[in-house]
Structure 1
Amino acid sequence: MWLGNISHRFPNPKTNMTNFKLWLSILDTSEFKNMDPLTTYEKKRICASHFDDHDNSPGTKKLKYYAFPHLNVPSTPATVMDVCDLETTCSQQEICESPVPSTPVTVMDACDMETTCSQQEICESPGRSLFDRELAECGSSEESELEGIYKLDNDSILQSNAVVVKPIKTPVKKRLKKPGVLCNIGLRKISQLTPKCRSLYKGSVLLSKRLRWEQKKSSSFKNRLAAAEKYSDGVINSKFASRMTSAAAIFTNLQLRATNTKARGRRFSLDEKLLSLSLYKQSAKSYRTLAKLFTLPSRKTLTNLLSKIPVNPGIDQTLMKVLKNSVIKLTEKQKLCAILFDEISLEPNLTYDHNIGMITGFEDNGIGRTQKFADHSLVFMIRGVVKKYKQPISYSFCKGTTSSHDLSNQLKNCIRAVHETGLRVVASVCDQGATNKAAINIIKNDTRSEALRRHIEYKEEFYKVKCGEDILNVVHLYDPPHLLKGVRNNLLNKNVIFTMDGKQMEARWSDIIDLYELDCQIEDVRMLPRLIAEHVIPHKIKKMKVKCAAQVLSERVASIMSFLASKKIMNENAKDTGKFCQFFDKLFDSVNGSYDKVVDGKIYRTGLKRYSRHHQLWEESIKDFKRNFNQDSLENFFGALRALGYRNTNPTCHLFTASYRTLLLNNLMSSHSPGNNCEADFGDGCLTSYKSLFQTFEDSTPDQCDESELRVSDGTPKPMTGLSSDVLSDLQQTHNYIAGFVIKKLNTVLFKNCTVCLHEICSLTTTKGYELTVSRDYKPHGKLLLKYPNQTFCSLVKSSIDIIAHFLPSICHHKTLKNELTILLRENININAIKCPEHGEFFPKQFFDFIIKLMVHNWCTQINRILSGKLGIGKNEKDAIKISAFQRYQTFCKKPKYK
């Protein structure tokens, strides 16, 4: 029976003899045994009823390459062993393994398959036999015709000779099939379309292919364009960055990248934030102007960056870790360093920092605190001897000056901490302060006692410090510029008798005054134009300025004085003063030079070498020093600290801490500001990388809170007695107004206009106790804007104020001030004023934090006003801190307002 007049040709024996024999074995008719294979191929056809729809290539009427007749064929044995040969030709196909069923199962329709099936990996359903799937997946076949075909009763022969092939398990990427045009209109085959629709369908297929191609082309072009833009930006940045400083390259890259970005969508790198921070700390007003012209981080961004770096008095162990990582690559000579220490004057002032819960402004050496007002800060810094680097490592606050015993302990602790980082301390440098001398003598006496105890030789040239298993020999030097200043100060009141070239000579300050007065008689052109009254006249001299001493004891003054004395224009004894000035000029140059080249004929103001002229001069004058053994680095650090913002000339302890943190982050410590007490030291900046410093501070875990310090139990505050009724009424009005202010702030951060919370703590009526609050209310259109607390909340605020005011003077210097006040409030008052299920849990902490911040800040403000003379104290004042602040004001103020 012909199925629609469709027939299929036998496989070509020339190209596919294996499949041709398979067909013959399945049919098993004697008609084909003696017939030539080519004749069978050319003249014989087999009906399409012997094949199912799966044997056809999808979208065509052609058979697949390995299709074979299996429907309506005779059930006679046939040789199908040759099927094994098919495996060799199908080794590249992926065959899905499934169980062989005993009955035929309908499989997928041809319309659900892609038109390009020859490139797909086909996985049939479990209902089809393995042998059927093996042959159905192997390509297309050619058409043939054949009549008289008999159907096999079953496919047992095929199943018994089927070869079980294990599939290769490879991950198959699932693709979502998009519905085609035919599926969208409810058809499954193109043959169901009319001729006109078929033509339109073919056109749509071509257009779809064209669209996919254009989309792919466009996507490829976008990718290439993005890569080209990225490459061009990198080339431009690298090209121009090599011609700019690192700061200029960071700033330029920031402008190119973030200018066209919205303000809230800008993101800044750490380098950009630190660069902006250095600009902001130089001048906040200038930074605001630059922010209007360029794209820069906001002030809030910079303050958040600073807040992540905790800086406290004493040696910071986190900084020591960063320093230890920074010195690993240094050689042994480069690790040699000197430790410098000096004090800077501060303005007495108290500041409460609610973030750390502590008041800044009391004496604090990093180990303990007192209730004395700090007016000086002691800073320790390391300075490289061979390699020019410097780094502040510790600071402390003190009143007047640090005690000699405390200073000696801090110095030894700093030397031990620096030694643990890998650096080697060989010298310590300071000025000639009495406390500094006493501290060094204490350490030397300890060294002498240890030497006598161990019966070893003691040398006065150095003192010893034990650092673990090592014992360091440290030489102490006094700052040469300060030595020169000390010589000048002594010469002001005393004549100097000295011996030079075997002759006894005498130097007088009066000779210098005579030279200055003689030079001032020349109106137009002077011989010594740099000398002014601040250099010569004793009561006008700035005794703390080293440059004033160096410009007087100079080569120019000595040569002109000797010339005038030789011409008898001046007293002949002035020659001795001239030689004295010339001697100290050469000596000071020999210990204050750092260059190899001779500048302005100053042969001694050069770097020290093995065969330089310094040795001969020193043999005749003093022992050797080096340029790196002075305090210029520390003095420049103080100058940079005072120069921040140009208004920090007399910083408080709080401002000093903030400036110290800023100079620790950026590389501004080598900047030289006008009016400094020394020359610029031309250092290479901080040894510690501020990047690694920031990252180490960020990664380090915060230290646990210190234990509460011991406090004398004073009991709960007693009610005030002896006050008039008017004073008590005013006090109650003030407490009620403060309670309303507390509610207003808590409503902003916690309640968020919660009706339940406000109903529990606010009053619905304004009674007599709210007269002050009503008078302060603006009452627009008769509406009250301020908060009016009820009696319960007023009592809560009043009790909190009394407890804080009672205990604060005795524990104000504690590091855990906030925690201690919170514990006292929890123990003495009932905080269950809010029963709101949403905010009741968070109310106690928010209330305690705000009331403590409010009261402590107000107390510090009163202390600062007393210290500055803006506020006095009452006769019955019992606050010990306020009394101490008033006594200090009376002591140091030239014209006190209050007595």
Structure 2
Amino acid sequence: MDCSSCRSLYELEMVKRKNLQCSLSEEQQRRRRFQRICYRQKQALVNNNAKIQQLKKQLKASQAKEKKGNKLLKTLKCNPILLESMKNFRINKNARRYPSMKYTATCQRINSGSAYKNLRAAGVLCMPHPKSITRWQQSVTLEPGCNLEIIRRMSIIASGLQERDKLIVLLIDGMALKPTIGFHAKSDFFYGLPNDGVFKVNEENDTANLANEAITIMARGVGTKYKQTFGYFLANTTLSCTRQQEIIEESVRTMFKIGFIPVGIVMDQHPTNVMTARAIGVTVDKPMFDIDGHPVLFFFDAPHLFKSLRNNLFNKNVLFQDEIVSFQHIRELYKMDISKMPRLVPKLTQKAVELPAFSKMNVKLATQTLSGTTAKAINTYVELQCLEKEVLPTALFIELFDQLFDVFNSRFKFNSAKLLFILFNCQFMISFSFMNILYIVYS
């Protein structure tokens, strides 16, 4: 083989090698490109899986939110106040109406005006303006006498109570009014004149004798917190004892008729009330009266009796078990205790001892003065020989009346003090022999 042929073969071989190298290079590039594509697809697959997991979480959260929203919507549909509030938030304030909110808002504002103001300012509920509530109240006509609408609503409440929760006491009390006369255009009615709730065809109204006292009657639960005023009467000076007796009898019969069981009448010591008690047959030996065969107990208001006791003791000495009880002993206790630290009777103040103007009307001062703490302090200072033994009858007198006040001031079913239990299931007795009366205390 000649040299030219060898060269040709060599060149051909070199071309083949070069082509082969090019093919290998292209194959490597295709392989790298394919690897890059696979890597990208793998990364995309990983990212897609992460997105799928995230979307699943979002879907789960959305379903939970939807479930919660459906539950809230169901609750909202069952609560007309919330539904009405949401509707009112979307409309102009001058176009808002409150058919469902009216009762709740009125009760809240009557209970506490400042609390209602804060609740409305919080913006949680769309509530009416206080002026709107005042306007609603002005549209309600409450004429003197027993209000039939209130009594009708009381009958609905009584129908849902247990037998023991139907026991009530009727409270009758009066308050002074500033004499004035006015005209209510909507009802075409003059107000400010005496009115005992009985319509008279030829009623002679004298503008010189305007109403200066209002007498109200309230039902109060014996073992519950229920209370409701259902009537009022206007009088010049006071109602007559005859009319007051008629009101008591009518109220007791009405309460029995609507389902309540009145067991007592409580009044203060106004002279008319004392005359009324005598008129209905109440005596010291028989402190009750019958209405249609139902016995009803009669009580004078215990806080007022306690205040009267303190006022009498302040003015005069009392003979108790052949011993002298004097308010001067309480003054001596105050002079002895005021310089001590700590004090045995911190609530016994100078005002309670001296009783300046209008202090005699304060029941709180009377209970703080004639309290068990005062009696114990007197006994303590006698034991320490800081006070004479002649003050001991005063301590016993105060302690007995403090126990008696607790008997008539019981409010709780259970209490650490035995005398503050509410009345049920007679278990023990305390004898106040100095009054010749055996007081049966229940616990």
Answer whether TM exceeds 0.5 for this pair.
yes
**Judging changes above 3 Å, is the alpha-carbon distance between structure 1 residues 412 and 603 closer, same or farther for their aligned structure 2 residues?**
closer
Counterpart pick for 1:478 among 271, 283, 300: 300
Report the Cα distance in structure 1 between the residues aligned to 2:226 and 2:380, rounded to whole angstroms. 44
Q: Pick 1 or 2: higher relative contact order, CA cutoff 8 A, min separation 6.
A: 1
Report the Cα distance in structure 2 between the residues aligned to 1:300 and 1:570, rounded to whole angstroms. 61
Q: 1:495 is matched with which residue?
A: 317
The answer to whether the Cα contact below 8 Å between 1:484 and 1:549 also exists between their aligned partners in 2 is yes
**Judging changes above 3 Å, is the alpha-carbon distance between structure 1 residues 512 and 528 closer, same or farther for their aligned structure 2 residues?**
same
- 1:336 equivalent in alignment to 2:129: no
The answer to whether the Cα contact below 8 Å between 1:492 and 1:509 also exists between their aligned partners in 2 is yes
Per-residue deviation at 1:259? 2.2
Per-residue deviation at 1:413? 2.0
The answer to whether the Cα contact below 8 Å between 1:343 and 1:379 also exists between their aligned partners in 2 is yes
Report the Cα distance in structure 2 between the residues aligned to 1:285 and 1:595, rounded to whole angstroms. 29
**Judging changes above 3 Å, is the alpha-carbon distance between structure 1 residues 308 and 352 closer, same or farther for their aligned structure 2 residues?**
closer
**Judging changes above 3 Å, is the alpha-carbon distance between structure 1 residues 616 and 290 closer, same or farther for their aligned structure 2 residues?**
closer
Q: Which has the higher helix share?
A: 2
**Judging changes above 3 Å, is the alpha-carbon distance between structure 1 residues 624 and 460 closer, same or farther for their aligned structure 2 residues?**
same
Q: TM-score, structure 2 length as denominator?
A: 0.73
**Judging changes above 3 Å, is the alpha-carbon distance between structure 1 residues 253 and 484 closer, same or farther for their aligned structure 2 residues?**
farther
Per-residue deviation at 1:577? 0.7
Q: 2:425 is matched with which residue?
A: 610
- Kindly report which structure 2 residues correspond to 1:578-617, keeping only aligned pairs within 5 A, or say none: 578-599=395-416, 602-610=417-425, 612-613=427-428, 615-617=429-431
Q: 1:234 is matched with which residue?
A: 73
Q: 1:879 is matched with which residue?
A: none
**Judging changes above 3 Å, is the alpha-carbon distance between structure 1 residues 625 and 549 closer, same or farther for their aligned structure 2 residues?**
farther
Runs of 4 or more above 4 Å deviation: 227-230, 235-238, 249-257, 279-293, 617-627
The answer to whether the Cα contact below 8 Å between 1:553 and 1:581 also exists between their aligned partners in 2 is yes
- 1:384 equivalent in alignment to 2:226: no
SS of corresponding position for 2:295: strand
Report the Cα distance in structure 2 between the residues aligned to 1:323 and 1:423, rounded to whole angstroms. 9
Per-residue deviation at 1:511? 0.4
Per-residue deviation at 1:347? 1.7
Report the Cα distance in structure 2 between the residues aligned to 1:437 and 1:321, rounded to whole angstroms. 31
- Kindly report which structure 2 residues correspond to 1:177-192, keeping only aligned pairs within 5 A, or say none: none
Report the Cα distance in structure 1 between the residues aligned to 2:68 and 2:97, rounded to whole angstroms. 21
Q: 1:54 is matched with which residue?
A: none
**Judging changes above 3 Å, is the alpha-carbon distance between structure 1 residues 287 and 426 closer, same or farther for their aligned structure 2 residues?**
closer
Q: 1:404 is matched with which residue?
A: 241
SS of corresponding position for 2:276: helix
Report the Cα distance in structure 2 between the residues aligned to 1:322 and 1:526, rounded to whole angstroms. 52
Q: 2:253 is matched with which residue?
A: 416
CA RMSD of aligned residues (A): 3.4
Q: Give the letter for the 1:403 counterpart.
A: S
SS of corresponding position for 2:359: coil
SS of corresponding position for 2:347: coil
- Kindly report which structure 2 residues correspond to 1:557-596, keeping only aligned pairs within 5 A, or say none: 557-596=374-413
The answer to whether the Cα contact below 8 Å between 1:534 and 1:541 also exists between their aligned partners in 2 is no
Q: 1:367 is matched with which residue?
A: 198
Report the Cα distance in structure 1 between the residues aligned to 2:440 and 2:179, rounded to whole angstroms. 37
Q: Give the letter for the 1:342 counterpart.
A: D
SS of corresponding position for 1:473: strand
Q: Give the letter for the 1:565 counterpart.
A: V
**Judging changes above 3 Å, is the alpha-carbon distance between structure 1 residues 233 and 341 closer, same or farther for their aligned structure 2 residues?**
same
Report the Cα distance in structure 2 between the residues aligned to 1:232 and 1:335, rounded to whole angstroms. 38
Q: Give the letter for the 1:434 counterpart.
A: P
SS of corresponding position for 2:281: helix
SS of corresponding position for 1:408: helix
1:522-576 deviations in Å (ceiling 9; x for gaps): 4x54332211122111435612222211111111111111121233312221111
**Judging changes above 3 Å, is the alpha-carbon distance between structure 1 residues 288 and 324 closer, same or farther for their aligned structure 2 residues?**
closer
Q: Give the letter for the 2:106 counterpart.
A: L
Report the Cα distance in structure 1 between the residues aligned to 2:115 and 2:384, rounded to whole angstroms. 57
Q: Which has the higher strand share?
A: 2
Identity %, equivalent residues: 23
Report the Cα distance in structure 1 between the residues aligned to 2:441 and 2:430, rounded to whole angstroms. 15
SS of corresponding position for 1:363: coil
Q: Give the letter for the 2:289 counterpart.
A: Y
Q: Give the letter for the 1:277 counterpart.
A: T
Q: 1:713 is matched with which residue?
A: none
Per-residue deviation at 1:358? 1.3
SS of corresponding position for 1:305: helix
Q: Give the letter for the 1:234 counterpart.
A: L
SS of corresponding position for 1:444: coil
Report the Cα distance in structure 2 between the residues aligned to 1:491 and 1:389, rounded to whole angstroms. 36
Q: 2:88 is matched with which residue?
A: 258
1:203-235 deviations in Å (ceiling 9; x for gaps): xxxxxxxxxxxxxxxxxxxxxxxx989724335
Report the Cα distance in structure 2 between the residues aligned to 1:626 and 1:400, rounded to whole angstroms. 38
Per-residue deviation at 1:310? 2.1
Q: 2:330 is matched with which residue?
A: 512
Q: 2:290 is matched with which residue?
A: 464
- Kindly report which structure 2 residues correspond to 1:780-791, keeping only aligned pairs within 5 A, or say none: none
Per-residue deviation at 1:389? 2.1
The answer to whether the Cα contact below 8 Å between 1:587 and 1:617 also exists between their aligned partners in 2 is no
SS of corresponding position for 1:352: strand
For structure 1, the residue ranges without an aligned partner over 5 or more in a row are: 1-226, 242-248, 449-458, 628-899
- Kindly report which structure 2 residues correspond to 1:886-897, keeping only aligned pairs within 5 A, or say none: none
Per-residue deviation at 1:304? 4.7
SS of corresponding position for 1:396: strand
Q: 1:427 is matched with which residue?
A: 264
**Judging changes above 3 Å, is the alpha-carbon distance between structure 1 residues 612 and 506 closer, same or farther for their aligned structure 2 residues?**
farther
The answer to whether the Cα contact below 8 Å between 1:327 and 1:421 also exists between their aligned partners in 2 is yes
Report the Cα distance in structure 1 between the residues aligned to 2:81 and 2:153, rounded to whole angstroms. 26
1:689-742 deviations in Å (ceiling 9; x for gaps): xxxxxxxxxxxxxxxxxxxxxxxxxxxxxxxxxxxxxxxxxxxxxxxxxxxxxx
The answer to whether the Cα contact below 8 Å between 2:426 and 2:440 also exists between their aligned partners in 1 is no
For structure 2, the residue ranges without an aligned partner over 5 or more in a row are: 1-65
- Kindly report which structure 2 residues correspond to 1:92-107, keeping only aligned pairs within 5 A, or say none: none
Per-residue deviation at 1:312? 0.6
- Kindly report which structure 2 residues correspond to 1:105-504, keeping only aligned pairs within 5 A, or say none: 231-234=70-73, 256-270=86-100, 272-281=101-110, 294=123, 295-299=126-130, 301-368=132-199, 370-371=205-206, 372-444=209-281, 460-465=286-291, 470-499=292-321, 504=322
